[in-house]
Chains A and B, each alone.
Chain A
């Protein structure tokens, strides 16, 4: 095992203990959503649209209901109309009306895979057969697949009631136009020695979690419902399901199962209300599990985008002006992460004159969901490759250019107050000092590229309880589903505060009835915000322990201190005579709790402020096959400012995992729709995510610039590492081939096409290769 990052200041924080839920996960005992089974349980399946855009003229379920074993069929007619307004849900805003229409289409289907009806039957196979017996009559409409097509005057309209402020009462596919401005753009470009202007296209990609969506719904005769599901936010599932079902939040309990990956994609709902609805109709528990094809057609993904970047700079490498136009595919309903993308795209740099225009555009594709630093990776693909060009034009090392223009404490943000203490420059320096950067890359068709990324990170609400057991061990209870080892971090923070060994703290992820409200596991917020609640709850338990010891010793609570798992009397003036009071371990004290006032339960709830933004810088070496355009990643190092690493192994894991996803995004992943708007790659063979063979070991440099807004300095670590890789790859590919790629994925056919353009006489072959 590699070393700790505790720097001697901490005993537990910064070490690498084995995660508490680990054994269950390596022996196959951990229970994920699809592993739940109940007596009398029925199985549900969802009928999905084969058309990208169509009116539903009629739905006839009579034949399906007659199939032996079928117990119920539900359609949108079984759901109430939900409120038509925007509500914040984790990192994304959700409109309950649109959410309901996404759960079950009402009079229109808006993408290939859009849910239309759900069946409950005695076996999943019977439910599947029943789907084929449901008769739906469609009036097929022309599909609108790209932001270009959707923004064209006279484009077919997806949502007849959609309006935006600028176009008045005119039906539109543009849900939002965001604009951010600073300084004087015209004067800025005038002051520039040169201007670079590029246009980018990035393909829609999926989060790609290995576990498909699932839900078991149990509706009881007393009107109470329970949902077991794999989710990043049990409380979000509860509130969103309540809105879609038209029931009170308090009527639903959500039990978060172990979750098999989410990356933002499991912060919303798909099957959950259907499981309750079908259970209500049948009186049985009903389980629904998506197939992989359903996951790709109808859940996630994140936006494809079109981005134009224009930057002006002086010969000495000062960026003086930037103008950005960006339009993101929202999918069938408004709510792409284009607003976040707009605030991220220039965030690492101090640019005095800028304007960013960002458009949220509906298209006939699945409604996008959050995906790890939503909107930032495609944005960085555009800005960070232009930055690379500027460095090249100035004859500067790209890291040097970044450091020269980079933001630091006091630099203005695109929106909001100036940055507090941040570690962007430090990530550039960490790369500059890395072994990778200082090793020479040699060989033909090889190139090295660097890029940086920014993500806000999130605060939001969290609750925690720390219980002292009768034997002096403890449990820490939170409402944050553990998606990457966060339970270990929660136990470590508790252990640190109480002075217990981490093995004496049992971390628990509770259901919605057993812990106070807790927002999603998302926005890199669990170790930051839930960690803050845990820290305060552990402090609360510590305070109570000191009070009890004071009671036992008949001294003032402020004269008692807690450390190394024991309470002792402080050596103070008010207790100078203090002879005969040896320290008492928490274990001993725990046996005296009943006599001194009862059990100890420390509690805290936070709406965490003091969010510390995250930066990452990534260095990538590639080799490009000159005959096929295939890119092999030879070496990769990522430096990320995490504030404080609680469990360094899982911090590295987040950095490596995000990097791998960013590499997949940059090189291979993409949604292929045909001209009818039907998705053609609905499996993991054709939706090509990185395998073991596609990646090298991923080197990490944990940068710790403490976040002043957190008691332990934590920033959060989950997202920003996905931001730099596509641009870093593009910059590396340029150095290997001389080709500046402006689209993702930079897959063999796309790259080869551009490479052949550079070789006169071979272009005709390129056309043949297409």
Chain B
């Protein structure tokens, strides 16, 4: 008897089919089956947020979801955030504000912040902090992350996507 299940889903706008064991988490499927290693494993218990992805527009911990549960859903990962070689304003602002040090938590923060700005394009600092409270960063003290998200919101509102060359 086959141990694996076929899952039909949509990842970053592409129809995707993959095989997985029922016990494999969505995070494991993304990383080990689909080679989308941008989503990171920090705890496997939903406490650190490094594996955050968007599930039908909502930020979720992909480590708390089974791969088979992705069936029929729209999944977005950090790999799908940029438009080709044009960075998403959040990505650009994270670079400009030096919001990452080691960078392991960055994909999760970017996805949680994306979910926030899509639902609330004009958040206050308190709203940003609340939306990101499920993502742990041990390097930055969050200061530069919060500033980047507020600045990204501002630039997205004004429609000016500053792309300062590195």
Q: How far is the CA of A657 from the CA of B103 in the complex (A)?
A: 13
Counting contact residues on chain B (CB < 8 A from A), the size range is: 35 or more
Q: How far is the CA of A32 from the CA of B23 in the complex (A)?
A: 25
Chain A residues within an 8 Å CB radius of B105: 210, 260
Chain B residues within an 8 Å CB radius of A647: 98
Q: In the bound complex, do residue A125 and residue B79 qualify as a contact, i.e. CB atoms below 8 Å apart?
A: no
Chain A residues within an 8 Å CB radius of B31: 35
The residue that B166 contacts in the complex, of A23, A262, A692, with Cβ under 8 A, is A23
Is A77 close to B, CB under 8 A? Answer: no
Is A469 close to B, CB under 8 A? Answer: no
The residue that A698 contacts in the complex, of B45, B138, B143, with Cβ under 8 A, is B143
Kindly provide the distance from the CB of B80 to the nearest chain A CB, expressed in whole angstroms.
9
Kindly provide the distance from the CB of B71 to the nearest chain A CB, expressed in whole angstroms.
21
The residue that A210 contacts in the complex, of B50, B78, B98, B132, with Cβ under 8 A, is B50
Residue of A nearest to B90 (CB): A26
Q: How far is the CA of A676 from the CA of B38 in the complex (A)?
A: 40
Is A211 close to B, CB under 8 A? Answer: yes
Contact with B along A125-137 (1 / 0, CB 8 A): 1000000000000
Is A695 close to B, CB under 8 A? Answer: yes
Q: In the bound complex, do residue B102 and residue A697 qualify as a contact, i.e. CB atoms below 8 Å apart?
A: no
Interface residues of A in 1-52 (CB under 8 A from B): 1, 16-23, 25-32, 34-35, 37
Residue of A nearest to B23 (CB): A125
The residue that A260 contacts in the complex, of B40, B95, B130, B147, with Cβ under 8 A, is B40
Is A173 close to B, CB under 8 A? Answer: no
Chain B residues within an 8 Å CB radius of A483: 101-102
Contact with A along B65-94 (1 / 0, CB 8 A): 000000000000111011000010001001
| Known pairs A17-B166, A683-B47, A684-B47; A698 contacts B106 (CB<8 A) | no
Is A611 close to B, CB under 8 A? Answer: no
| Known pairs A28-B107, A261-B138, A484-B139; A22 contacts B166 (CB<8 A) | yes
Q: In the bound complex, do residue A210 and residue B137 qualify as a contact, i.e. CB atoms below 8 Å apart?
A: yes
Q: In the bound complex, do residue A657 and residue B138 qualify as a contact, i.e. CB atoms below 8 Å apart?
A: yes
Is B165 close to A, CB under 8 A? Answer: yes
The residue that A660 contacts in the complex, of B37, B97, B103, B141, with Cβ under 8 A, is B141
Is B19 close to A, CB under 8 A? Answer: no
Q: How far is the CA of A661 from the CA of B39 in the complex (A)?
A: 24
Q: In the bound complex, do residue B45 and residue A683 qualify as a contact, i.e. CB atoms below 8 Å apart?
A: yes
Residue of B nearest to A662 (CB): B141
Chain A residues within an 8 Å CB radius of B134: 691
Q: In the bound complex, do residue A291 and residue B44 qualify as a contact, i.e. CB atoms below 8 Å apart?
A: yes
The residue that A32 contacts in the complex, of B35, B40, B82, B133, with Cβ under 8 A, is B40
Is A259 close to B, CB under 8 A? Answer: yes
Q: Which of the segments A78-86, A409-417, A648-656 contacts the partner chain?
A: A648-656
Interface centre among B42, B132, B137, B141 (most CB of A within 10 A): B141
The residue that A27 contacts in the complex, of B44, B91, B132, with Cβ under 8 A, is B91
Q: In the bound complex, do residue B81 and residue A27 qualify as a contact, i.e. CB atoms below 8 Å apart?
A: yes
Kindly provide the distance from the CB of A32 to the nearest chain B CB, expressed in whole angstroms.
6
Residue of B nearest to A658 (CB): B141
Chain B residues within an 8 Å CB radius of A29: 38, 79
Chain B residues within an 8 Å CB radius of A649: 97-98, 144
Q: In the bound complex, do residue B87 and residue A650 qualify as a contact, i.e. CB atoms below 8 Å apart?
A: no
Interface residues of A in 667-709 (CB under 8 A from B): 683-685, 689-693, 695, 697-698
Q: In the bound complex, do residue A485 and residue B166 qualify as a contact, i.e. CB atoms below 8 Å apart?
A: no
Is A258 close to B, CB under 8 A? Answer: yes
The residue that A28 contacts in the complex, of B44, B79, B130, with Cβ under 8 A, is B79
Chain A residues within an 8 Å CB radius of B48: 210, 292, 684
Is A305 close to B, CB under 8 A? Answer: no
Interface centre among B38, B47, B103 (most CB of A within 10 A): B103
Kindly provide the distance from the CB of B66 to the nearest chain A CB, expressed in whole angstroms.
13
Q: In the bound complex, do residue B38 and residue A28 qualify as a contact, i.e. CB atoms below 8 Å apart?
A: yes
The residue that A653 contacts in the complex, of B40, B47, B101, with Cβ under 8 A, is B101
Interface residues of A in 205-241 (CB under 8 A from B): 207-212
Q: List 5 A-B contacts (CB under 8 A).
A: A25-B106, A31-B37, A32-B40, A34-B37, A653-B101
Top-8 shortest CB links A-B: A28-B38, A260-B104, A660-B141, A649-B98, A25-B103, A684-B47, A656-B141, A28-B78
Interface residues of B (CB under 8 A from A): 21, 23, 31-32, 35-45, 47-48, 50, 77-79, 81-82, 87, 91, 94-98, 100-107, 110, 125, 128-130, 132-147, 164-166
